[in-house]
Amino acid sequence: MSDSIIRIDGLSKTFAGGFQALRQVDLSIQRGEIFALLGPNGAGKTTLISAVCGLVSPSQGTVWVDGFDNVKAYRPARERIGLVPQELTNEAFETVWNTVSFSRGLFGKPPNPTHIERVLKSLTLWEKRNNRLITLSGGMKRRVLIAKALSHEPRILFLDEPTAGVDVALRREMWDVVRELRDHGVTIILTTHYIEEAEEMADRIGVINHGEIVLVEEKHALIEKLGRKQLTVQLFEPLQTLPPGLATFALTQNDAGDELIYSYESATQKAGDGGISALLGALNKAGVGVKDLHTRQSSLEDIFVDLVKERA
Ligand SMILES: Nc1ncnc2c1ncn2[C@@H]1O[C@H](COP(=O)(O)OP(=O)(O)OP(=O)(O)O)[C@@H](O)[C@H]1O
């Protein structure tokens, strides 16, 4: 058997109003991996994380955290988990040092300034330790959230949408931080809407929809499946028939005949017909005037819709 740090068995959650947010979820998280949980709004990601962290009580099923039942052995299970929420709440006037130290205290752990110092240094927050949170940049605030979650030395870190609404530079910075934590042996579970984030970070990807895990797959296998792109070629003149030189390409035309739509695999770029440059060459050779080009990658939303349709 592989080494699971979290095992979720038959987990269901029906809220008081009767809404079923989780349906018989079975999932194992491997020790030391980065697992990305993807799903559209309302899919059940936060409910699932909350149930694992013991913040939502399941209607059915069991969660094992490092061998501890998270209901019957709540304390040791919860102690192993750090949870990074999306936003800081109500601590604007507290200093970085105090807020991170206080988080440790919430787990009943004795003060350990050496650990807090190590965490702050590893997140490049050490220079800011006496700053009030209100004076920090957005990126620094996100790092404080991670520092708080690491203050009690958890082995597992949950990150709920770690880069929602942040710019590209900061997103890359967050990714580096997460990777470094993994290199130090922390198991990471993150939720995200960004395919790019999952693509960049995750060892494995799970997709949840309508409270059901619809797929769990090793990243590379998933990207092979999902990474489709579309190139739309706008023409100066509508084409009545495709010139023979274009017959080898997987093209469709719009009704007006002035757009050609070409689908190809983005992840591998291994189109058997030679790909975009060959297509443009063939258009040129056939004397077809190209007005404009657009590429479009399947969005996560598209992918989910496809996944759900496939499994309907
Ligand atoms: N306390 C609650 N009572 C009733 N329904 C709830 C409660 N909390 C969540 N839900 C519902 O459960 C479903 C799943 O919500 P959840 O927050 O887990 O989704 P999510 O995948 O995290 O979505 P998002 O990406 O929007 O954060 C939603 O339809 C939500 O309205």
DSSP 122-174: HTT-GGGTTSBGGGS-HHHHHHHHHHHHHTT--SEEEEESTTTT--HHHHHHH
Q: Is 41 in the pocket of ligand 1 (CB under 6 A)?
A: yes
The packing angle between helices 96-106 and 138-150, to 10°, is 30
CATH 3.40.50.300 in the chain, residue ranges = 4-224
* 187-220 tens-digit pLDDT: 999 998 777 788 888 999 998 989 999 889 888 7
Cα–Cα distances in Å, from 213 out to 28, 48, 105, 203, 209? 12, 10, 35, 17, 6
Burial of residue 77, with CB atoms counted within 10 A of its CB: 0-12 exposed, 13-18 middle, 19 or more buried:
buried
The CATH number, out of the four listed (3.50.50.60, 3.40.50.300, 1.10.1740.10, 3.30.360.10), of the domain defined by the range 4-224: 3.40.50.300
The packing angle between helices 138-150 and 113-122, to 10°, is 140
Minimal-distance CA residue to ligand 1 atom 16: 44
Section 140-168 average pLDDT: 88
Q: Is 2 in the pocket of ligand 1 (CB under 6 A)?
A: no
* 215-235 tens-digit pLDDT: 898 887 776 666 677 889 999
What is the Cα–Cα distance from 98 to 130, expressed in whole angstroms?
8
Q: Which atom of ligand 1 is nearest to the CA of 208?
A: 21
* 38-76 tens-digit pLDDT: 888 888 999 999 999 998 999 999 999 999 999 999 999
Please check whether residue 194 is in contact with residue 170, taking contact to mean a CB–CB distance below 8 angstroms: no
Q: Count Cβ atoms below 10 Å from residue 195 Cβ, excluding itself.
A: 21
What is the Cα–Cα distance from 297 to 226, expressed in whole angstroms?
10
Supply the CATH classification number for the domain 227-310.
3.30.70
